[in-house]
Amino acid sequence: MLLLIQYTLIFASVLALVALGGCFSEHGGVINIGLEGIMVMGALGGALMMKYIPAGTAAPLILLLVTLSSVMIGMVFSLFLGVAAIRFKADQTLVGTALNLLGPAAAVVLVRAINMSESIDNVSSTVVYGEAKKAFVVSIGRFEFNWFMLIAFLALAASWVVLYKTKFGLRLCACGEHPQAADSVGINVYRMRYAGVLISGALGGLGGLVYITAGVSEWKFENGVAGFGFLALAVMIFGQWKPVSIGLAALLFGLFRALSNVYTGFDMLVALKLPSTLYNMLPYAISLLVLVFVSRKSRAPKAEGIPYDKGQR
């Protein structure tokens, strides 16, 4: 049971961070379907930093440098969406889909090029980051506390304050609801939308880092992030684009995802004999059900996905 709680919290942290990223982007009026690709690129930035960081570096500094690298790579990669959707008014769904294809492909090519330059015999898309991962974990008895659990909680609290209690957040929401009205009172809609996309890139990249530090010391990037970007979108919709509700939805989806990691012990606990594949598909099946039953009553920002035309009133 303790292991189930541990995995639930770490997977919920991933989903909460990435869903919050999508929330900021859509509150600004830009649909970010490309969260999956952003997660992969953020994971790549963090993994490479862990790989090359000097041995003996203090744990707090490792945590800071790795986090910053993931955040920065996620922000840079999200600019593809920002420029295409805001500057050139491209279809946001198509651009997001392109990012999901580009992210894993670019990561694989880059990592194989790095491994080849280091004369590794078995050239693959694997980044080994071993000992550096220990900086993120603190053992409390039999429970492993990951610092990203705390970071995810703080991000949820900060997002609520930013969106509902600050001038920036209120302006961002206005640009996602009534951009023409926001522009009429002097708000730069383009700038606010770029800000929303960049925040989504930062949180998405951080979510990718959390995913690969959940329990592995090496990662093959052609495996991607197992659909967590799409699960995060379901969490965002289920949470109705509200940080507190997103946090609760992330816990629920995190529990379903954690079951696939600890299903053997869970079966022993409840005396069931269910196949492992059932637990593996559970979070994705739940996400489909959520979209079917919740999407009709969902209250998405009214102007999301609609390119802003300054000359239109």
On whether residue 304 sits in a domain, the answer given is no
Question: Tens of pLDDT along 138-171?
Answer: 888 888 899 999 999 999 999 999 999 999 999 9
Instruction: Tell me the mean pLDDT in the region 160-189.
Output: 96
Check the CA dihedral 163-169-170-171 and report its sign.
negative
Q: Is 218 helix (H, G, I), strand (E, B) or coil?
A: strand
Predicted local confidence at residue 264, as pLDDT? 52
On whether residue 313 sits in a domain, the answer given is no
Work out the pLDDT band at 310, boundaries 50, 70, 90: confident
> Are 143 and 154 a contacting pair, CB within 8 Å?
no
Total domain count, the chain: 1
Question: Tens of pLDDT along 63-81?
Answer: 999 999 999 999 999 999 9
On whether residue 268 sits in a domain, the answer given is yes
On whether residue 105 sits in a domain, the answer given is yes
On whether residue 302 sits in a domain, the answer given is no
CATH number at residue 258: 1.10.3470
Q: What is the pTM of this model?
A: 0.93
On whether residue 306 sits in a domain, the answer given is no
On whether residue 305 sits in a domain, the answer given is no
DSSP symbol at 88: S
For residue 293, the number of C-alpha atoms closer than 13 Å in the C-beta half-sphere is: 8
Instruction: Tell me the mean pLDDT in the region 192-198.
Output: 98
On whether residue 113 sits in a domain, the answer given is yes
Question: Tens of pLDDT along 4-29?
Answer: 899 899 999 999 999 999 999 999 99
Question: Tens of pLDDT along 259-296?
Answer: 877 765 554 445 456 666 777 787 788 888 877 887 77
Which range marks the domain in which residue 184 is found? 2-297
For residue 3, the number of C-alpha atoms closer than 13 Å in the C-beta half-sphere is: 10
